[in-house]
Amino acid sequence: MNSKIKKFAKNVSYTFLANFLSIIVSTVLILIVPGFIGADDYGYWQLYIFYTSYISYMSLGLTDGAYLRYGGCEYNELNKPVFVSQYWFLVTFDIVVNFSIALFYGSISTDTSKTIVVFLTCLTGILVVPRSLLTFMLQATNRIKEFSIIIILERIIYFILVIIFLLSGIRQFEYLIYADVIGKFFSVLYSFFVCKELVFGKFAPMKISMREIWLNISVGSRLLFANFANILIIGIVRFGIENNWGIETFGKVSLTLSISNMLMLFINALAVILFPALRRTSEQNLPAIYKMMRIIIIIPLLGLLIFYYPAKVILSAWLPQYAESLTYMALLFPMCLYESKMLLLINTYLKTLRKEKLMLVINLITVGISVVLTFISVFILNSLNLTILLIIFLLAFRSVIAELCLTKVFKIQVKKDIILEIIMTVFFIFVSWYLNIRVALIAYSIAYVVYLISKKNDIVYLLRNIKKFLNSK
């Protein structure tokens, strides 16, 4: 077998283990925690998770720039003193910024629970933003094993502490957040061990350090803003839900989003491996790899939508107090299709081709649409159903536009495939929302079989090429 394929498979095994554990932890917490704590406490816990998805962007683009510039390099090739300077710059910057945010919010807030959430979010920011420089460089230099252990350590400690708290009768949301902060703290300590050359040692001369920091920020800022705009697409909708319908509804919708997003943990793991691998690949081979990766992603994901039906039955029985909100899974479950394609395929290729500006423009356009449509659905129409449906519309819109732009560069025709995927998505949402669960399952299963028959040639093409790669030396 090709040595590159062996190394790729080895990295997949490490990230699979890390993300399999993350999926197990997330699944158990998603299923267990709502059964133990009240709806308000669950809502505040989800609000913390929501806020932490934004606080991690306080790197100014420095970590993103380093990731883009050094992707595909070897770890021993890195200029260690330069990274020591950058790491402690991030530590200092994030202490100042997060302390200022906490101080300001504490002076104006009248909601004690939200104040606690914001304070702990700021503490998390001080831990995870500097750590991201280390984890990004582990990914960029293909040290996937060490990166995976950092994730495993964080999730296991978090999981164990949450279970201990729940079994001890502790139901307050603050302790769930403490568990997450402690898990992150110990993962930071381990990251010091595996990246000690990037944390401890002599600083590079001031002039060189500042030049490197500025260069990474200037390169990474567009990717940072593109990623920030990416989470704003759904974030604006969620802000609207929390503002108009309250923390309890926000928590219930967040539960549905969490269930729909569980698969993204594994997809993200593959994206971590794929980027440095593509950076080492000849540009002329990228279109062929894209076609194969697209088939590998889309066909199974459309099939996975079938699992919505048993999942809804099981979850409704286990969490009867959330049964009403679980109906929104019919609207949100297909988001894994468009988010997976965007994260694993489109974004990875755009970063490989250094098209961060295009990513930014597409995401900003989608954010603009999100603002307008959220305002209409929340504050004018006051429709929760329409607001939730808006999430899948925005993700599909962004994915389609981005893929059309990318495949134009490669001169690949995917319009028919995109139309087929939209038809399957709309059909799934329609039958799942309007028909009883048994009839909907039969209807979508038949539609998926018809889809597989229509994609017979693509499946044959994929199997032939996989065989060819495995036999290459």
Mean pLDDT of 5-11: 56
In a domain, 25, yes or no: yes
Q: What is the DSSP string of 386-402?
A: HHHHHHHHHHHHHHHHH
pLDDT digits (tens, 9 = 90+) for 218-255: 878 877 787 788 778 888 888 888 888 877 777 778 77
Residues 186 and 87 in one domain: yes
Q: What is the pLDDT of residue 269?
A: 57
**Domain for residue 223, yes or no?**
no
In a domain, 113, yes or no: yes
Which tokens is 24 given? 């197990």
Residue 208 pLDDT level (bands cut at 50, 70, 90): confident
Instruction: Show which of 184, 204, 224 is a domain's final residue.
Output: 204
Distance CA 438, CA 426 (A): 18
pLDDT band at 398 (very low <50, low <70, confident <90, very high): very high
pLDDT in tens, 261-301: 666 666 665 655 565 566 666 667 777 778 888 888 888 88
Cα distance between residue 111 and residue 103, in whole Å: 14
Cite the DSSP H helix spans in 280-352: 286-304, 308-318, 323-326, 329-332, 335-340, 347-352
Of 57, 69, 9, give the one whose Cα is nearest residue 351: 69
| Among 355, 14, 350, residue whose Cα is nearest residue 152 | 14
Q: By the 8 A CB rule, do 187 and 154 touch?
A: yes
pLDDT computed for residue 284 by the predictor: 75
Of 153, 182, 204, the position where a domain reaches its end is 204
Within-domain flag for 97: yes
Please tell me whether residues 151 and 277 are part of one structural domain: no
Q: Could you give the CA distance from residue 150 to residue 100 in angstroms, rounded to a whole number? A: 29
11: left (phi over 0), alpha (psi -120 to 50) or beta: alpha
Q: How many domains does the chain have?
A: 2
Q: Rounded to two decimals, what is the model's pTM?
A: 0.71
pLDDT band at residue 71 under the 50/70/90 scheme: confident
Residue range of the domain that includes 58: 18-204
Residue 8 is assigned to a structural domain of this protein: no
Residue 22 lies in a domain: yes
Q: Judge if 317 and 426 occupy the same domain.
A: yes
Asked if residue 217 is part of any domain, the answer here is no
Chain centre to alpha carbon of residue 110:
32
Instruction: Return d(Cα 457, Cα 112) in angstroms, integer.
Output: 59
- Is residue 11 a part of any domain in this protein? no
Residue at which a domain ends, from 185, 204, 223: 204
